Each structure stands twice: as structure tokens, then as C-alpha cells.
Amino acid sequence: MSSADARAMRVITAADDQRRLTERELHDGVMQQLVALCVNLQLAGELVPDDSPELTELLAEMVRNAHEALDEMRRLAWRVYPSLLDCGLEDALRTAAADAGIPVRVETAAVGRCAPAIEASVYFCCVELLRHAVDDGHAATVRLWSEHELLRFEMTLESADLELWRARDLSSVSDRLGSFGGWLVVEPDRDVRISGAIPTATADQAVIPEPWPTSAR
């Protein structure tokens, strides 16, 4: 691994650590305050006299608004850094797939725990690819597995336009993988298939095949 790649890896790892910290601050700070607000508004509603329907309706609307703000904050915190990722890549990826906006099937096999930076990188790469897939509106299948000290993933898009995908700017995905010695490939199959891999070994132990197809463009 070159010194430039090592620096890039450190930058990405630091950014993901900051994402995790921000999510925790949102959870322990603003979200807890919103929970307390929801509870207090509900308690206030129980104190309203029966002959004040306007005030009852106003408080009910405030409760609804507070719950909507709490739900939006939860979604924002998840986009920053999914707390499930600390428990494992598979569950976090399945949850992201369920919220993708298109039909997504997730298949996993022989996936153990990897370094947090590795799991976060694969997760955010898959999420970025799913965002692009939503633009096509086609169903997708995401496969995740470990093989020969590599954490591999593959996304198959039904009836997608290969040339459109080859023209897309996927540099944020390929750069993230490349900084860890990984790669990204967009290739034709019966459908469009996008595959990526990232070494799970330490930087000085990783064996990287040549050439590296690090750009999907």
C-alpha cells in the first residue's frame, strides 16, 4: 500500500469515526430532548379541562409534530452513521435495503466481523450504489461474502442500462475502496452487475491482485 493510499485510508477512517460520534451526540442529545418533549406534551394534554376542545386539539397537533420531528431526527442520525453497524454489517445493510425505495434482496454467506473501518466502507459503498439504483427504479440483489481475506459485495440490477451505469460518476465508491486497497468493477451480465472487494487483512499483509480496476468509468 502506497503512502498516499495509507493517508487516504486514515482520512476515511477518521471521517467515519466522526460520523459515529455525531450519531451518538444526536442520539444522546437532541433525540432525548425530543422524547422528553413528546412525553411532556402528552402529560399536558391530560391536564386540559374537558371544556377546552381547541386547546386539546392544539396540544394533540403539537404531539404529532414532535413525533414527526423525532422520526426525522432518527432518519437523519441513521444516514450519518447507522448504529446497527456496530453490531454487524449484515443487519445494517438489510435495514438500508429495506428503506431503499426499490425492491432489494440481500444475500449473505460466510461473513464474519471485520475491522469497523472495513465494515463501514462496504456499507457506505453499497448505500451509495443503492441511491443510484433508485434512479433507475429497478429491483436489485445485493450479495455479501468473505473470500481469501477479502470482503466482497456484488449488486445485480435487473433490466438496468449498462452504458448508463458505466457513465455514472462512481468515483466516491471506487476511491473509498481503493484507499483500502480494494476495487470496483461495473460489468455486463444478464443484467448489470457491480462488484467490489476490500482486503480484510492489515495494510502490510494485504495481497492485492494486479491490475486494480479501481475506476468504474
Same domain assignment for residues 73 and 93: no
Res. 69 pLDDT band, cuts 50 70 90: very high
pLDDT(173) > 80 = yes
pLDDT(208) > 70 = no
Last residue of a domain, one of 52, 80, 108: 80
State the residue range of the domain holding 31.
Answer: 3-80
Same domain assignment for residues 108 and 61: no
In the predicted model, what is the mean pLDDT of residues 132-137? 82
In the predicted model, what is the mean pLDDT of residues 140-151? 90
Same domain assignment for residues 121 and 48: no
| 207 occurs within a structural domain | no
Question: What's the per-residue H, E or C state across 2-71?
Answer: CHHHHHHHHHHHHHHHHHHHHHHHHHHCHHHHHHHHHHHHHHHHHCCCCCCHHHHHHHHHHHHHHHHHHH
Average the pLDDT over each of 13-17, 120-124, 184-188 and give the range with the smallest value.
Answer: 13-17
pLDDT recorded at residue 112: 80
- How many domains, the chain? 2
**Residue 186 grid cell:** 461495473
Same domain assignment for residues 46 and 91: no
Same domain assignment for residues 137 and 172: yes
